[in-house]
Amino acid sequence: MSVELNYQDTGGEGTPLIVVHGLLGSADNWRSHVKQWQDRRRVVAVDLRNHGRSPHAEGMSYHEMAEDLLALMDRLHIEKAHLLGHSMGGKVVISLARLAPDRVASLIVADIAPQAYGHGHDAVFAGLRHLQRGNPTNRREADELLAEHVDERATRLFLATNLERAESGELVLRVGLDQIEAGYQDIMQEPAGEGAFEGPVLVLRGGRSHYVPDAALSGLREVLPHSQLVTLDEAGHWLHAEQPEAFQSAVNDFLDSLAD
């Protein structure tokens, strides 16, 4: 059964752009980008299941997350959309495009390939569990707890976007950490569906990221044969945060080139 996703909708005319965050992200992370894009088109930013303000539910397979997104499109009476997904969200939008290609005007895939990946979030999960047990009352305390497992300050700041204040006064995680950890093996797998998506695709990758190496491009083009590749040389995996203007420009150029 699909989950009724939380979303932010700017309204507007034309084919909407639906924005899908990555693992442990949320629609809130895309606020500055949405503010720019909404002058040009309708934008819908979503919280995937177990993320942001969306409900917590068992199951993190790409088939389930794509079905959630498709159900949201139905609920908003969106017949067809441009889909932008970063990292895990990129696999979600590829899954939807393979399962329901008639609902997809184009794909924008940010720093992910349609393949399985190795486990790389042990320290992050350990830090979040340690934070939970520590019951921090302010963000300085939360950062100190996370720092015992996560060295990179930028990563800790990103993870801290998942904190909210409980009625008791403590800072608590709003993500469904139990469900995400239980479904982590599925998150690392390749997208759902079979075959290729034959529509237009923009693949954006960070030049300092290891997620889409040149060795992955032949496999990527088997699934997304009409993809054009743009590399943001000075960016890592969070390319939309590290080079926001270049990221926005690449997305705008791609969407403007399509008959909307």
With bands split at pLDDT 50, 70 and 90, how would you rate the model's confidence at 65? very high
Sequence-ordered list of residues with C-beta below 8 angstroms from that of 72, at least 6 positions apart, any chain:
4, 5, 7, 44, 46
pLDDT tens for residues 163-180? 999 988 899 999 999 999
- What is the rounded distance in angstroms from the CA atom of residue 162 to the CA atom of residue 52? 7
Question: Do 94 and 199 touch, CB atoms closer than 8 A?
Answer: no
pLDDT tens for residues 124-161? 999 999 999 999 999 999 999 999 999 999 899 999 99
Question: Do 22 and 234 touch, CB atoms closer than 8 A?
Answer: no
- What is the rounded distance in angstroms from the CA atom of residue 256 to the CA atom of residue 81? 14
**229 is written with which tokens?**
């590749």
pLDDT at site 116: 96
Active-site residue set: 87, 178, 237
Name the phi and psi angles at 42, rounded to 5: -70, 135
Q: What is the pTM of this model?
A: 0.96
- What is the rounded distance in angstroms from the CA atom of residue 205 to the CA atom of residue 70? 26
